[in-house]
């Protein structure tokens, strides 16, 4: 039975086929437009996403001459009032050994999930560890502050090694000579061995 009962014979079937064909073409056309709209939206959303970070190549060696050049560069690039200039010495993800050039007193710090190891390359300072951070502000898993109340005070100088456990306030409260350090942050506590 025809969808168009008023029409009979071949011409009715032709009109019926034409109507079905037009409906199919319209459906296909609508489907193509929807697919194109989807891909256009997906492309626009992808364009708004920040690019994925490019993994940095490991830096496995720095010579004494490299360190001397870093110290000179830090001295030249340091801005007036800038407490610390930091540069990468070594890198093997997730660990970095950084050169810290400290020409003046900076903020005290606490790293909730990382221990921090220091080696004094040059200079001398007064370092306080432990006690209570004063004037603290939070930045992610770290706290910074204007100083430390209490704690253990020690004099540090060229050749000294220091390790500060996670969640422990630490502060170079006085810089006697420009202090140049190697620092390494180590995530703690360590994951359980399998």
Q: Which tens digits make up the pLDDT trace of 115-127?
A: 999 999 999 999 9
Tell me the pLDDT of the chain averaged across its residues: 85
Q: Is residue 128 within 8 Å of 153, Cβ to Cβ? A: yes
Residue 35 has pLDDT above 90, yes or no: no
- Is the pLDDT at 151 greater than 60, yes or no? yes
Cis bond upstream, residue 189 (ω within 30)? yes
- For residue 106, is pLDDT > 90? yes
CATH of domain 64-187: 2.60.120.10
Rounded to whole angstroms, what are the CA distances from 17 to 5, 8, 9, 28, 160? 14, 13, 13, 16, 92
**pLDDT value, residue 34:** 65
pLDDT band, residue 37 (cuts 50/70/90): low
**Among the listed residues 71, 61, 57, the one whose alpha carbon sits nearest the alpha carbon of residue 97:** 61
Does the pLDDT at position 65 exceed 70? yes
The span from the CA of 112 to the CA of 169, in Å, is: 10
Q: What is the DSSP letter of 167?
A: T
User: What average pLDDT does the segment 72-83 reach?
Assistant: 94
**What is the pLDDT, as a whole number, of residue 38?**
59
Sequence-distant (6+) residues with CB within 8 A of 99 are 67, 70, 71, 74, 86, 87, 88, 89, 121, 180, 181, 182
Which region holds residue 146: left if phi is over 0, alpha if psi is between -120 and 50, else beta? alpha
CA angle (100, 56, 42) in 5-degree steps: 125
H or E stretch at 125 = strand 114-129
Q: Please say if the pLDDT value at position 7 is more than 50.
A: no
């Amino acid at each position: 039975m025809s969808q168009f009962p008023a029409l009979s014979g071949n011409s009715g079937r032709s009109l019926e086929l034409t109507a079905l064909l037009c409906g199919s073409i319209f459906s296909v056309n609508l489907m193509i437009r929807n697919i194109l709209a989807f891909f256009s939206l997906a492309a626009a959303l992808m364009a708004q996403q920040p690019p994925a970070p490019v993994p940095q190549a490991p830096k496995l060696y720095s010579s004494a001459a490299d360190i001397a050049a870093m110290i000179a560069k830090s001295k030249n690039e340091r801005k007036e009032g800038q407490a610390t200039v930091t540069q990468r010495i070594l890198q093997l993800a997730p660990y970095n050994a950084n050169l810290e050039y400290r020409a003046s007193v900076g903020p005290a710090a606490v790293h909730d999930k990382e221990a921090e190891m220091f080696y004094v390359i040059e200079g001398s300072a007064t370092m306080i560890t432990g006690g209570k951070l004063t004037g603290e502000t939070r930045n992610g898993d770290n706290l910074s502050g204007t100083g430390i109340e209490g704690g253990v005070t020690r004099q540090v100088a060229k050749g000294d090694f220091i390790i500060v456990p996670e969640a422990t306030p630490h502060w170079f409260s006085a810089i006697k000579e420009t202090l140049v350090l190697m620092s390494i942050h180590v995530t703690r506590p360590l994951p359980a061995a399998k």
